[in-house]
Amino acid sequence: MIQKATFAGGCFWCMVSPFEEQPGIHGIVSGYMGGTVENPTYEQVKTGQTGHLEVVEITFDSAIFPYKKLLELYWPQIDPTDDEGQYIDRGSQYRTAIFYHNEEQRKLAAKSKEELAQSGRFDKPIVTEIRPAVAFYPAEEYHQNYHIKNPKEYKEERISSGRDAFIDKHWK
């Protein structure tokens, strides 16, 4: 069954590649969700004033790649204890969140969050929100597949942001 999954994990550029080559993934679009402005631009969202988070919307076949596996890929991409942003990217637009599209997704997301909280992996509370999906707005074209269009800049961004160092320390 074809479904949508939406994850906020800081800069959306870094949230595409972990999911893109998995079986059953039909598409990934960088965009914005959770705010109050219709059809926001990147310039508006980056101010932190619209309420939107940078997200990736994933279209997937749950018979091939179940939602639970998406969650297992999502958590190791983020610092789930940081409610001020992610890595070098600071501000409300870079907070983490799981936007669920149906009740099954909500239950699985809540269960995975609880399991992570009980795992003892982190000393601080897990602050990633679990919220109902609302209107999704695709980001501008230059943000789509940024890691493919600009591989050198993307690699430098990942390294300088602290994301890769955090992932290596806490998730590997």
Tens digit of each residue's pLDDT (9 = 90 or more) over 108-128: 999 999 999 999 999 999 999
Token pair for residue 61? Answer: 């076949």
d(CA 124, CA 95) in angstroms, rounded, equals 16
Query: Does residue 172 register a pLDDT over 80?
Result: no
Number of domains in the chain: 1
First to last CA, the chain: 31
The helix (H) or strand (E) run that includes residue 160 is helix 151-161
The tokens describing 58, both together, are 């994933």
Range of the domain at 70: 2-171
| pLDDT of res. 28 | 98
Q: What percent of the chain has pLDDT over 70?
A: 100
- What is the per-residue pLDDT for 158? 87
- Inter-residue contact 33 to 8 (CB < 8 Å): yes
Q: Specify the pTM.
A: 0.96
Active-site residue flag, 11: yes
Backbone φ and ψ of 116, nearest 5°:
-65, -45
Phi/psi region, residue 47 (left: phi>0; alpha: psi -120 to 50; beta: rest), is alpha
Q: Which of 6, 9, 10, 11 is catalytic?
A: 11
**Helix or strand (DSSP H, E) at 167:** helix 163-171
The CATH number given to whatever domain includes residue 33 is 3.30.1060.10
Please tell me what DSSP assigns to residue 74.
H
Q: What's the CA gap between 113 and 150, in Å, rounded?
A: 33
**pLDDT score of 95:** 97
